[in-house]
Amino acid sequence: MNFSEVSLNHYLILSALLFCLGIVGIVVRKNLLIVFMCIEVLMNSVNLAFVTLARYYAEKRGAEIVLDGHVVAILVMAIAAVEAAIGLGIVISLFRNRQTVNTSELKTMWG
Amino acid sequence: MMDANVFYIASTVTVLAVIFMIFQKNPVSSAIFLVLSFFGLAVIYLTLDAHFVAALQILVYAGAIMVLFMFVIMLLNLKDEELVYDKIDLKTVIGILLGGCIFAIFTLYYLDLPVLEAPELVKGFGTAKEVGKVLMTKYVLPFELIGILLLVGLVGAILLGRREED
C-alpha cells in the first residue's frame, strides 16, 4: 500500500473503519442517544463508500455524467433524517413512560 | 487532483472524533464530537470532488440532524444519576474485539483490490447542476418516494411525541 498518494483502497478502508467504530459504539454503549449517534456514523460510512466509488468510476456516458453514487448518498441522507426524527420521537415517548434511556433497563415491551 | 495530506488530516480528525464520541459520558459532548466527524467527512467528500454531497452533508447532518439531537438531549434533561456510566467490563472488551475482527476482514478484502487510479475528472462532476439533472431524470421516482417517506416520518414523529392525554 502506497502512503504518499491516496487511492481507492484508502477511502474504502476509512469507510470500513468508521463502520466498525459505529458497530463498536452500538455494542459498547448503553445510552440510547449515543446508540442513535452510532447509527448515524454507520450511515455516513456507507455514504463515504458510495461517493468514493462514484469518483473512481466517473465517466461520461452520452450526454450525462455517471453520478449514481452521489444520488444514492443523497437518498441515504434523507432516510437518515427520517430515521433520526422517528427514532428520537420513540426515545422521547420511552423516556416519558420509563424515565430512563439505559438500554439494559428496557426489558419489557408493555408497561 | 487530490492532496494526500488533506485526506490524512481529515480522516484522522473524523476517526478520532468518532472514538471520542463513543467514549463520552455526557451525550451533549458526544453530539459535539459527532458534528466534528461530520465536518471531517465533508472535507473528505471535497477531496473526492463531490461538492454537492459535501454541502448537503453539512446542511442536513450538521444542520438538521444535530439540532434534532441537541433538542432531544435538552428536552430529556438527564440528571446525573440517569446518565449511564458504562464501566469497562467484559461486554466492552468483546465489543471492541468484534469491531476489530470485522475491520480486519474488510481490510484484508480491500487490500486485495487492485490499486485503482482515479479517472480523469469529467467537467461538471459532482456539481449541483449535474447531480440535480440525474436526480430529476433517471432517479425521479425514488426522489418522489423519498418525499412521501419524509411526510410519513413527519406524521409519525408528531404521533410519537404527542402526550397520552390529548
Q: How far is B82 from chain A (nearest CA, A)?
A: 7
Cβ atoms A29, B26 nearer than 8 A: no
Q: Residue B166: pLDDT band by 50, 70, 90 thresholds? A: low
Non-local CB neighbours of B57 within 8 Å, separated by 6+ positions: A47, A77, B38, B41, B42, B45
* pLDDT of B112: 84
Chain A residues with beta carbon closer than 8 angstroms to that of B45: 48, 51
Nearest to B125 by CA among B43, B54, B58, B61: B54
In terms of C-beta density within 10 A (0-12 exposed, 13-18 middle, 19 or more buried), how is residue A22 classed? buried
Q: Does A12 touch chain B if contact means CB atoms closer than 8 Å?
A: yes
Percent with pLDDT over 90 in chain B: 40
Instruction: Please tell me the predicted confidence (pLDDT) of residue A76.
Output: 94
At residue B83, what is the residue type? L
CB A18 within 8 Å of CB A45: yes
Residue B13 burial (10 A CB sphere; 0-12, 13-18, 19+):
middle
pLDDT at residue A60 in the model: 80
User: Quick one: average pLDDT of A28-54?
Assistant: 92
Cell 455514504 -> residue: A47
B84 Cβ under 8 Å from any chain A Cβ: yes
Q: Say which amino acid occupies A61.
A: R
For residue B15, the model assigns a pLDDT of: 95
Asked if B115 and A7 come within 8 Å (Cβ–Cβ), the reply is yes
Provide the pLDDT confidence category of residue B86 given band limits of 50, 70 and 90: low
Q: What is the pLDDT of residues B136-156, one digit of tens each?
A: 998 999 999 999 999 999 999
Is residue A111 scored above 70 in pLDDT? no
pLDDT at A34 over 80: yes
Return the higher-pLDDT residue of B16 and A108: B16
pLDDT mean over B74-91:
72
Q: Is B126 on the interface with A (CB under 8 A)?
A: yes
3-state secondary structure of B138: coil
Q: Rounded to a whole number, what is the distance in Å from the CA of A62 to chain B's nearest CA?
A: 12
Q: Counting every residue, how long is chain B?
A: 166
A75/B57 touch (CB, cutoff 8 Å), yes or no: no
B141 touches chain A (CB under 8 A): no
**Considering chain A, what is the average pLDDT of its residues?**
87
Q: Read off the pLDDT of each residue in A39-46 and give the average, rounded to a whole number.
A: 94
**Which three-class secondary structure state does DSSP give residue A60?**
strand
Q: How many CB pairs under 8 A join A and B?
A: 257
Q: Is residue B63 scored above 90 in pLDDT?
A: no
Residue B24 scores a pLDDT above 70: yes
**Predicted local distance difference test score (pLDDT) of residue A1:** 59
Q: What is the pTM of this model?
A: 0.89
Label residue B80 by pLDDT band (50, 70, 90): low
Specify the higher pLDDT residue, B161 or B102: B102
Tell the residue number behind the cell numbers 466534528, with chain if given: B36
- Cβ-Cβ contacts under 8 Å, A82 against chain B: 149-150, 152-153
Closest alpha carbon within chain B to A8: B116
A8·B113 Cβ contact <8 A: yes
* pLDDT tier for residue B126 given thresholds of 50, 70 and 90: confident
Distance CA A91, CA A110 (A): 15
* β-sheet bridge partners, residue B144: none
> pLDDT digit string (tens) for A94-110?
888 888 888 878 787 76
8 Å CB contact between B43 and B51:
no
C-alpha torsion sign, points B143, B145, B151, B152: negative
